[in-house]
Amino acid sequence: MAIPIAYNIRNLVVRRTTTLMTALGIALTVAVLAAALAVGAGLAKAFTASGHPNHLLLLRKGSTAELISSVPIPVFKERIKLRAGIAKDEKGEPMASPETVLVINLPSVDAPDGMNLNIRGLPPAGLKLREDCTITQGRWFQQGRRELVVGSAVAKRYPDAQVGKQITFGRGKWDIVGVFDSPQMARNSEIWGDFDQISGDFNRLEAASSVLVRAQDEVALDALRNELNADPQLQVEIMTEKAYYAQQTDSGAPLEFLGIFVAVIMAVGSCFAAMNTMYAAVARRNKEIGTLRILGFSKSSILLSFFVESVLLAALGGLIGIILVLPLNGVATGIGSNLTFAEIGFELRITPGIAAFGMGFALFMGAIGGLLPASSAARKEILTALRDS
């Protein structure tokens, strides 16, 4: 015969101060864990969702990022641009874009002294390769002018990167004329301008940082990649655009690891807190335990009852922890990238999976913390329990 669960709920309510304090300890542990996982989920959404499936990115051999790469413009024109398998636009021009990527420093809402941002110089083909981007404020920059458009993530976090303002880098001032938004979320952390103007300011007209090309289809993508790899004169690293963005999620790994590590340390303390709470409950309820045995409840029923009570206590803590961390969902923030040497804007994501994992973690703490006290309660003999009460 099992002890009704209402008995456990009543005991938790009666000891509400102790119950609340223990639940809050568990809640804080769950909140720290969920916040750390939200960083990883936000970065994963920003980068794994970025990149066109038929885009190939070409970097200099041995380079891991556009910022430290260099592809000569003559090589682009003679050995890359006219390759078979590259898609054509409506005018019959190859969809291949040499691009310059540089870093500038601007004050942000979190770093008034400045954070690094990527500036990307684009030729007309570069914009056509990003036709899914839309202007949400202002207009696109015009070729041949010192004009810039900023990604939506940049506009949110950088007070100087607003339409109508000017920023200074290279050889002078640049006008910000628009804000763009892309479903390829990583792009929203960049500032774009004319390739010739930006490259000219930094004396880099003879070489691009990278080349982005669009293959006609998946079959052409593989054939084009194999053909470019087989050309010994190119000396380029070739990867899909999706793969390039996906590897940037590693930037958040240390922060996520630190959060999980802190959560695990806190979990040990929370397990002991739950254990102490349940041991105290056992000590105060000797008479109840003896009475339950007289009424015919078995040792296993008592063990299960106290174990369930500990798990219920942990479930309450887990629920509070998830509620505490929910306001973080959608909060815009940024983190420095080891690949781009610039800030990556993203939003924290409290997904159903993270909430479920946090709740499961809380229940695990409750189970570990309640097992020994429940076993102690079950081992009590009837007469000993009644005499000690």
> Does 223 share its domain with 121?
yes
Question: Is residue 243 in some structural domain?
Answer: no
- pLDDT computed for residue 380 by the predictor: 65
Residue pLDDT, tens place only, 64-80:
888 889 999 999 999 99
> Does 192 share its domain with 262?
no
Question: Is residue 86 in some structural domain?
Answer: yes
Give the chain's residues under pLDDT 70. Answer: 1, 46-50, 248-256, 259, 281-293, 334-343, 378, 380-389
Question: Is residue 89 in some structural domain?
Answer: yes
> Does 229 share its domain with 260?
no
> Does 229 share its domain with 257?
no
Nearest-angstrom CA–CA distance, 182 and 43: 16
- Locate tokens 């054509």: which residue? 88
Question: Is residue 54 in some structural domain?
Answer: no
> Does 315 share its domain with 277?
yes
- pLDDT computed for residue 308 by the predictor: 85
Number of domains in the chain: 2
Question: Is residue 241 in some structural domain?
Answer: no
Nearest-angstrom CA–CA distance, 232 and 184: 33
Last residue of a domain, one of 174, 203, 234: 234
Residue pLDDT, tens place only, 243-292:
887 776 665 566 667 767 777 787 777 777 777 777 776 666 666 666 66
Domain of 10?
5-48+251-388
Nearest-angstrom CA–CA distance, 89 and 328: 42
- pLDDT computed for residue 386 by the predictor: 53
> Does 292 share its domain with 175?
no
Question: Is residue 244 in some structural domain?
Answer: no
Distances (CA, A) of 134 to 138, 287, 321: 11, 72, 38
> Does 14 share its domain with 124?
no
Question: Is residue 367 in some structural domain?
Answer: yes
Q: What are 287-292's contacts with CB under 8 Å, separation 24+?
A: 287/385, 287/386, 287/389, 289/377, 289/380, 289/385, 290/380, 290/382, 290/383, 290/384, 290/385, 290/386, 290/389, 291/386, 292/3
Answer positive or negative: Cα dihedral of 28, 34, 40, 43. negative
> Does 75 share its domain with 121?
yes
> Does 128 share its domain with 275?
no
Question: Is residue 57 in some structural domain?
Answer: no
Last residue of a domain, one of 193, 209, 234: 234
> Does 205 share its domain with 270?
no
E strands within the chain? 55-60, 71-72, 96-106, 115-122, 134-138, 147-151, 166-169, 172-181, 190-194, 207-208, 210-214, 236-240, 332-336, 343-347
> Does 230 share its domain with 257?
no
Token duo for residue 145: 């002018």
- pLDDT computed for residue 38 by the predictor: 85
Do 26 and 324 form a contact (C-beta atoms < 8 A)? no
Residue type at 10 in one-letter notation: R
> Does 74 share its domain with 143?
yes
